[in-house]
Amino acid sequence: MLESPQATLLERERDRFTGREWAMLLVLCGAIFLEGVDVSMFGVALPSIRADLAMSTAELQWVISAYVLGYGGFMLLGGRAADLLGRRRMFLIWLAVFIAFSGLGGLASEGWVLIAARFVTGVAAGFMAPAGLSIITTSIAEGRKRNQALLVYAGTGAAGFSLGLVVGGVLAEFSWRWVFFAPVILAALILLAGIRLIPVQARPGSRSIRDFDLLGAFSVTGAMLLLVYGVVRAPDVALGSTLAVLAGGVALLALFVTVERRVSAPLVRLGILRSGPLVRANIAALLFAGSFVGFQFILVLYLQELRGWSALATGLAMLAVAGDAVLAPTLTPRLVNRYGNVRVIFAGLLVAGVAYASFLWIGADAAYAAMLPALILIGVAFALVYGPLTIAGTDGIAENEQGLAGALLYTSWQLGSALGLAMVTAVQVITLGGDHSESGLLDSYRAALTVPVIAIAVAAAVTAFGLRRR
């Protein structure tokens, strides 16, 4: 039956954003852009940090891993805190913590101080991200309007992730410390705008410490730390030591599941994992994030340590990846409306697989023109995957668990980033051995790049089950 003109007009009015909603969305997009930038721009600055603080490759990857582990490890507790204590309150408080410890990292004179500051900054982001996402999903009704808001929001985060590569190169050209100080300035502006523009929501009822599953939060964080630490140090220790650390991580995961089944207010209601679309979205997010962060790490080492490029030249070379900043808010919503989330995600994963695989044959003197098509494809893949995964991971979830659903998705992003980085580092170090010649370095980079290719292939296979169900 055809809709009347009046009904069509009312539907368009419902889908139109008010000035207040746009203002709120602008602030939250600024925060997710900041978080994306803060993850990726350190990749380009790592060689400068290594030279200044005399850090090894294994230590160096913890500059990124410490952040993503704090981010992912406390994301679930952050989502729970947002649901119980108030989303606006959690967002603003932890944004202030983010500012303080990002500034501390810029003042660090030793590697351990830098890593510790990065970890706490990640914890702050872990509380901010699910609070910001759930502010959107509880303020805007489910449907086309919310999908549009989420695509803009996720597209901004993806743009921050890719533009961070360029920003990091520019800032590192002056000093790597500006990679810490610049987010402080941006975060302070977002904090001031957020106090004014994020609407005050109804206050939750009184809560006690029993409403917070601290044992669950610490057990899952400990599990992530041990799993990543075990993979990272595998090249330098005996096999038995590595297996013992990994076994400890698995034991903590088992403890986490046991705790979640028994506590009255679990960090993760395990029943939410019965949703097939949610589980597939989280697996795809974990593998996609791990593949990209691992690829970025190896590409930066290739360009700067093998080819001798400067941080600025490396950052500018990565500018091609930032095409998602244009595609995500313009092309992706149209594709999602026409083909649905699953098909768009699947297409993006295939594009990423082609891009990563093309670097397996890269030579020691490859021209930038030979790399450019693959870098453009990576930007396209980000535009097709990031936003639709955000919708798929929160769609159909009850309002009182939107913080949890958002936290699960962001935990998958960060855990994937940490594990992907750890695995490519381990493969590169094992393959390199003591051969630091040009051919030895090149062979180690190629071996490490097989990790992103395999991860993307698995992600595409998992997503294909969603296509079959459709």
With respect to residue 68, please indicate whether it lies within any of the assigned structural domains. Answer: yes
Cβ 180 vs Cβ 103: under 8 Å: yes
**3-class DSSP string for 148-173:** HHHHHHHHHHHHHHHHHHHHHHHHHH
In the prediction, which pLDDT does 1 show?
47
Q: What confidence score (pLDDT) does residue 205 get?
A: 57
pLDDT of residue 322: 77
The pLDDT of residue 415 is 80
How far apart, in whole angstroms, are the C-alpha atoms of residue 401 and residue 231? 33
> Do 118 and 252 share a structural domain?
no
DSSP three-state, residue 398: coil
CB 46 within 8 A of CB 75: no
The CATH number of residue 48's host domain is 1.20.1250.20
Confidence at residue 191, expressed as pLDDT on a 0 to 100 scale: 94
Residues 257 and 277 both lie in one domain: no
Neighbours of 426 (CB within 10 A): 22
Low-confidence ranges of the chain (pLDDT < 70): 1-15, 57-58, 201-211, 232, 235-236, 403, 468-470
Same-domain check for residues 287 and 242 = no
State whether 92 and 128 are in the same domain. yes
Closest CA to 350 of 468, 449, 463, 450: 463
Q: Is residue 14 part of a domain?
A: no
Domain span holding position 437: 269-469
- Same domain? 351 vs 399: yes
pLDDT in tens, 247-294: 999 999 999 989 988 888 787 888 888 888 889 999 999 999 999 989
Report pLDDT for 468: 62
Last residue of a domain, one of 175, 198, 221: 198
- The answer to whether residues 139 and 185 belong to one domain is yes
Q: Is residue 304 part of a domain?
A: yes
- Those residues with Cβ within 8 angstroms of residue 254's Cβ, 6 or more apart along the chain or in another chain: none
Q: Are 153 and 28 in contact, with CB atoms under 8 Å apart? A: yes
Whether residues 370 and 414 share a domain: the answer is yes
The end-to-end CA distance of the chain, in Å, is: 25
pLDDT of amino acid 421: 83
Tally the domains of the chain: 3
Who contacts 275 (Cβ-Cβ below 8 Å, separation ≥6)? 396, 397
- 381, 356 Cβ separation under 8 angstroms: no
Same-domain pairing of 236 and 278: no
- Listed residue (107, 120, 97, 99) closest to 177, CA to CA: 107
Summarised one tens digit per residue, pLDDT across range 393-426 is 877 777 777 767 777 887 788 788 878 888 898 8
64/155 same-domain check: yes
pTM: 0.76
Identity at 152, one-letter amino acid code = V
Q: Identify whether residues 301 and 374 lie together within a single domain.
A: yes
